Copies of this chain bind each other. A is one copy, B any other.
């Protein structure tokens, strides 16, 4: 390794991406040459282990890695369960930890009695059983789904003290596989006047939203599989509408019908909810695409750096408009920035893991990340977002997140 690998890449101890662990950054423990630690066998090497299982579960030592439920006491099936982002690595979200957002609980659907109906402004109303859909040509998409309300605590005037998962955990990323919706629309034959579809789920809320027909023809799928296996009940079993890059509420779970129309239905979840009140009192509606965003998951609120020296800054970046082009990190509150490494493969409308090398010298630091997407859009500082949209937006918060590290290594959420 050349000497300049330890040259700072930016202020506050950010190192070049090639920086490794040499010269004072070693984290291993050296053993005396004669050490016989290898000879000491723990008790689990002395007795046979447990037998095979038909379906595996996490280790009992990982039982704290769970979704955080934030429900409505009066309506137990209305609320959210958030992905513990700070406990994860890589970009796939295990299906058991995929976030949940329900309006009236998770229906228990018999797949033999469920199907999809396409009707309204069509040449011929058509319906498909789940078994029929399984025979269609399939496609897979590795994409995130993010709730439009994710990170909305960011609009609060004071920085709410919560970790990444409890604050920003209404996003998850899966491999979704199913039938391209364009095939099914072709069979039903949309009328010339059809420009919207009202998608409805088979839950007790009969969740419905309006989706432009152009998006359904573009890259939408009727998903049957998630991360290799059939959908989980809380993610729409047996059928979910997946609209890559578009806000979560439009990715209708337990999909039962698409009603083609010439106008949106103006459902509760596209008028009273999932719209964004602006500073001038008017509201943005149909802001479908999830904008460019990133988040440092380590170090992050609630963690504590136990030692000075090398730490890897890790996080997620994503954009509903395409690929993440670049992520920059700062350790001095945004005065200087260094480019983070992006883990390949970098995929469109998919979470991307970024990593950067940082040497903490024990003094206070403010860590930030900002993502730039393929369209050139740059994740905004919170102040710029607030200046543009006021404090009543509620949805589509994508401001830069800042974590302050104090001189004892404690990490808290700050506006900086």
Residues in chain A within 8 A of chain B (CB atoms): 20-22, 26-33, 35, 37-38, 41-42, 44-62, 65-67, 69, 71, 75-77, 79-81, 87-98, 100, 102, 104-111, 113-114, 117, 119, 124-129, 132, 135-140, 142, 175-177, 183-184, 186-188, 202-204, 206, 224-225, 227-235, 237-238, 257, 259, 310-312, 314, 343, 345, 347, 353, 355, 357
Contacts and interface: CB of A to CB of B under 8 A. Distances in A.
Given A229-B58, A355-B137, A92 B28 contact: no
Contacts of A31: 117, 119, 124-127
Contacts of A312: 135-138
Determine which residue in A27, A47, A65, A67 has the highest number of CB atoms from chain B within 10 A of its CB, and name it.
A27
Contact of A109 (B44, B79, B139, B176): B44
B234 A20 contact: no
Given A140-B343, A225-B90, A228-B88, A188 B28 contact: yes
A355 B183 CA distance: 16
A93 B228 contact: yes
A187 to B, nearest CB: 5
Contacts of A32: 125
17 contacts: A27-B128, A28-B184, A32-B125, A42-B113, A48-B104, A48-B105, A52-B71, A52-B100, A54-B69, A59-B231, A61-B238, A88-B228, A88-B229, A89-B140, A91-B228, A92-B175, A135-B311
A315 to B, nearest CB: 12
Contacts of A48: 75-77, 104-105, 204
A111 B224 CA distance: 36
Given A56-B233, A62-B230, 17 more contacts: A29-B129, A29-B132, A48-B77, A49-B105, A52-B81, A52-B106, A53-B67, A54-B66, A56-B95, A57-B96, A59-B230, A59-B231, A61-B238, A88-B228, A94-B228, A97-B229, A138-B355
A223 to B, nearest CB: 10
A355 to B, nearest CB: 6
A57 B8 CA distance: 46
Contacts of A44: 107-109, 202-204
A289 B92 CA distance: 26
A38 B353 contact: no
A153 B235 CA distance: 38
Given A44-B202, A175-B90, A345-B142, A227 B227 contact: yes
Contacts of A230: 58-59, 62, 65, 87
Nearest to A19: B137
A122 to B, nearest CB: 10
Contacts of A136: 21, 27, 312
Contact of A225 (B49, B89, B108, B259): B89
A45 B87 CA distance: 35
Contacts of A228: 88-94, 97
B89 A92 contact: no
